[in-house]
Structure 1
Amino acid sequence: MALYIRDDTVDDLASELQKLSKAPNKTEAVRRALQHELERLREEVPLRERVAKIQARFRARMGSNKRNFDMKRFTDEMWEL
């Protein structure tokens, strides 16, 4: 089945892609581009999962959360010599 491009802008993009990718024709260039985009989208990790992974890494580095932290005492100690 042939690929018919009716939009001039899309045709120009397909031509440029064909030249840059050294594809034998526009159809092959578009096929490769579509395959790459599908692979990228399938492998994409949702933002929520990426953030959760970063948070877990920082939690592991920081250790347990001290609930008895006294900010006044901490700042007073900073001024002591």
Structure 2
Amino acid sequence: MSLYVKDEEVNRMAQRLAAIQRVSKTEAVRRALEHELEREEQTPTLVDKGLAFARALRASAGPNAGRAADKAFIDDLYGEL
């Protein structure tokens, strides 16, 4: 199967990378795509980032985390006895 690059700038970048790496243009594109796929697969998803944030927030909450919001709690917030 062939891959045709119609964009001249992309073609020039592929030629430049191939020259730097001293490989064929096809090999340079293959390596670049492999590298980009690996990078994307290692990037945490938005769900992963959200879970990490929630875990960090819970860890930093301290010993009073999840304390019931009863009258004593509210009074304590306002400094009332």
Task: Give the 3 Å change call, closer, same or farther, for CA 50–23 of structure 1 in structure 2.
Answer: farther
| Structure 1 gap ranges (5+) | 75-81
Instruction: Name 1:27's counterpart in structure 2.
Output: 26
Unaligned runs of 5+ residues in structure 2 are none
| Residue identity opposite 1:39 in structure 2 | E
Give the CA RMSD over aligned residues: 2.6
**How far does residue 30 in structure 1 lie from its aligned partner after superposition?**
0.3
Q: TM-score, normalised by structure 2?
A: 0.64
SS across alignment from 2:78: helix
Query: How many residues were matched structurally?
Result: 73
How far residue 33 of structure 1 moved from its aligned partner, in angstroms, is 0.7
Instruction: Give per-residue Cα distances to partners, 1:19-75, cap 9 Å, x unaligned.
Output: 44x24121111000111122223333211221211211221232323431433218x
Task: Give me the TM-score of the superposition, normalised by structure 1.
Answer: 0.64
Distance change (3 Å), C-alpha of 1:59 and 1:23: farther
Q: Distance in 1 between matches of 2:18 and 2:66?
A: 56
Q: Quote the residue 1:78 is aligned against.
A: none
Greater relative contact order (CA < 8 Å, ≥ 6 in sequence):
1
Runs of 4+ displaced beyond 6 Å:
none
Cα distance in structure 1, aligned partners of 2:66 and 2:22: 56
Identity of aligned residues (%): 36
* CA–CA separation in structure 2 for the residues paired with 1:42 and 1:23: 27
